[in-house]
């Protein structure tokens, strides 16, 4: 009997690894306004590289209603309708409406989640907007309960409550509820002390396993290392990586069949204080120089990195299993096809059944770097299907 159970377990694991995997792709709506070859719109999306596309973002009004941040882009330009039309090319595609994001903060979400009447308004408003426009579900991206203006004493419990109310209403209509959640161990312990309850009240969990380091710090660090470095000496430092973040979600009770490992198609950059010291934790003078498309200090899209920085010194970190580029006092930590394949492999070996990608617009969607269109997203799909 024991031998039979062991055989069945092996078969179950094999089926889990070979079953069709999810690939969730965020469409950042504001990228329609980027200049020249950085401009991105729905017509440039390959719907066969994603199982789900998430429209980011709508916001939250203080009374609990959905706030359409850019109605001109959403309905004036018809981008929501254009997203739905992608189902003609891929009938299995699911399109979700995403609410929140970093710029929304936490304060409004904390207040609405604490008020039963406002929660009810949010549920009905979100459900109404989803059904009106033909979305297949709703993605709740509160960053983060108990932090950034939220209340750490009541937000975690209220977060579970509001997820439960959203899930009940959406599932009753055959619709999906997902949430984007932090991949930082210390952060998740504040926001989600009961991870099992969070998991129970979601259909999908999108773990943002990136932005562990960036120009918000005064030293060099890769934005999404797979594993720790020997230079990570404190417990907190040793937890700022993909393996630790994903493992904590699973160890604390998240259902792996619901989890999607979040990966990035961009990099975090630094201006070194001393060009001769480019090691991890080297001092910096802020973020690196902005790119022509994203236009932000400290951040570059992969489409900018591969096109404008390909002649820089390429360094592969064997410990952290990620690359960075170096030129003078400029340091770029990012993901390439090699590092993303390793992350996907780790996710699958953890019996996680999906990958989430932030975001479509910073992959090389035009194929300008000679690797074909969407080299990062293609590498993710190829690695998933190799099993």
With a cut of 60, say whether residue 363 has pLDDT above it.
yes
What is the predicted pLDDT for the residue at 69? 94
- Helical segments of the chain, H only: 2-18, 71, 79-85, 107-113, 116-133, 155-172, 185-191, 195-200, 235-238, 242-251, 302-308, 337-349, 375-385
Q: Which residues pair with 325 in a beta bridge?
A: 314, 332
What is the predicted pLDDT for the residue at 347? 97
Angle CA 315–337–89, to nearest 5: 160
Counting residues of the chain whose pLDDT is more than 70, the rounded percentage is 95
336-341 LR contacts (CB < 8 Å, sep 24+): 336/302, 336/376, 337/371, 337/375, 337/376, 337/379, 339/226, 340/263, 340/376, 340/379, 340/380, 340/383, 341/379, 341/380, 341/382, 341/383
Would you place residue 4 in the very low, low, confident or very high pLDDT band (cuts 50, 70, 90)?
Answer: very low
Domains in the chain: ranges and CATH: 20-264+336-385 (3.20.20.80)
What is the predicted pLDDT for the residue at 41? 98
**Which among 383, 347, 373, 356 is positioned nearest to 245, based on CA atoms?**
347
What is the predicted pLDDT for the residue at 20? 54
Lowest mean pLDDT among 15-19, 78-82, 196-200: 15-19
What is the predicted pLDDT for the residue at 308? 98
Considering the entire predicted model, what is its pTM? 0.94
Q: Which two tokens stand for residue 210?
A: 């990136």
Mean pLDDT, the chain, rounded, equals 94
Average pLDDT estimate for 357-372: 98
What is the predicted pLDDT for the residue at 104? 97
Q: Which two tokens stand for residue 72?
A: 């001109």
Catalytic residue numbers read 143
Q: Which residues contact 386 (CB under 8 A, 6 or more apart)?
A: none
Q: Which residues contact 378 (CB under 8 A, 6 or more apart)?
A: 49, 372
Average pLDDT estimate for 160-183: 98
One-character DSSP codes across 180-241: EEE--HHHHHHH-S-HHHHHHT-SEEEEE---SS-TTSSB---SS-SS--TT--SHHHHTSS
Largest CA distance in the chain: 65
pLDDT tens digits along 53-64:
999 999 999 999
CB burial of 306-331 (b: ≥16 within 10 Å; e: otherwise) equals bbebeebeeeebeebbbbbbbeebbb
User: 3-state DSSP call for residue 363?
Assistant: coil
Average pLDDT estimate for 139-159: 98
Counting residues of the chain whose pLDDT is more than 90, the rounded percentage is 94
With a cut of 80, say whether residue 387 has pLDDT above it.
no
Average pLDDT estimate for 180-202: 98
Average pLDDT estimate for 110-129: 98
Would you place residue 386 in the very low, low, confident or very high pLDDT band (cuts 50, 70, 90)?
Answer: confident
pLDDT tens digits along 217-251:
999 999 999 999 999 999 999 999 999 999 999 99
Average pLDDT estimate for 33-52: 98
With a cut of 60, say whether residue 12 has pLDDT above it.
no
* Phi, psi (deg, nearest 5) at residue 29: -65, -30
Lowest mean pLDDT among 6-20, 308-322, 354-368, 373-387: 6-20
Taking 3-state DSSP, the helix, strand and coil percentages for the chain, each rounded to the nearest 5, stand at 40, 20, 40
Average pLDDT estimate for 259-274: 98
C-beta separation of 183 from 246 below 8 A: yes
């Amino acid at each position: 009997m024991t031998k039979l159970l062991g055989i069945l377990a092996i078969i179950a694991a094999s089926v889990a690894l070979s079953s069709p995997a999810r690939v969730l792709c965020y469409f950042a709506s504001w990228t329609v306004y980027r200049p020249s070859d950085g401009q991105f719109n729905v017509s440039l999306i390959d719907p066969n590289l994603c199982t789900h596309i998430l429209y980011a973002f709508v916001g939250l009004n203080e009374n609990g209603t959905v706030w359409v941040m850019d109605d001109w882009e959403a309905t004036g330009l018809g981008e929501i309708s254009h997203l739905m039309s992608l189902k003609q090319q891929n009938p299995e595609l699911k399109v979700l409406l995403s609410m929140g994001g970093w710029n929304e903060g936490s304060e409004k979400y904390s207040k609405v989640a604490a008020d039963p009447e406002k929660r009810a308004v949010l549920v009905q408003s979100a459900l109404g907007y989803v059904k009106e426009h033909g979305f297949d579900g709703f993605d709740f991206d509160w960053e983060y309960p108990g932090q950034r203006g939220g209340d750490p004493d009541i937000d975690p419990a209220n977060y579970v409550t509001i997820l439960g109310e959203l899930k009940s209403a959406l599932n009753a209509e055959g619709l999906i509820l997902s949430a984007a959640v932090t991949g930082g161990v210390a952060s998740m312990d504040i926001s989600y002390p009961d991870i099992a309850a969070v998991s129970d009240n979601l259909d999908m969990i999108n773990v943002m396993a990136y932005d562990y380091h960036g120009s918000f710090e005064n030293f060099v660090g890769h934005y999404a290392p797979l594993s720790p470095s020997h230079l990570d000496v404190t417990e907190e430092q040793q937890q700022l990586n993909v393996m630790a973040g994903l493992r904590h979600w699973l160890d604390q009770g998240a259902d792996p069949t619901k989890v999607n490992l979040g990966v990035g198609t961009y990099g975090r950059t630094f201006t070194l204080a001393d060009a001769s010291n480019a090691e991890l934790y080297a001092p910096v003078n802020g973020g690196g120089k902005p790119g022509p498309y994203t236009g932000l200090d400290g951040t570059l899209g992969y489409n900018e990195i591969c096109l404008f920085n390909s002649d820089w010194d390429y360094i592969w970190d064997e410990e952290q299993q990620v690359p960075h580029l170096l030129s003078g006092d400029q340091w770029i930590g990012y993901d390439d096809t090699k590092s993303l394949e390793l992350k996907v492999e780790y996710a699958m070996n953890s019996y996680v059944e999906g990958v989430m990608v932030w975001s479509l617009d910073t992959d090389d969607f035009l194929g300008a770097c000679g690797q074909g269109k969407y080299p990062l997203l293609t590498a993710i799909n190829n690695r998933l299907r190799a099993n």
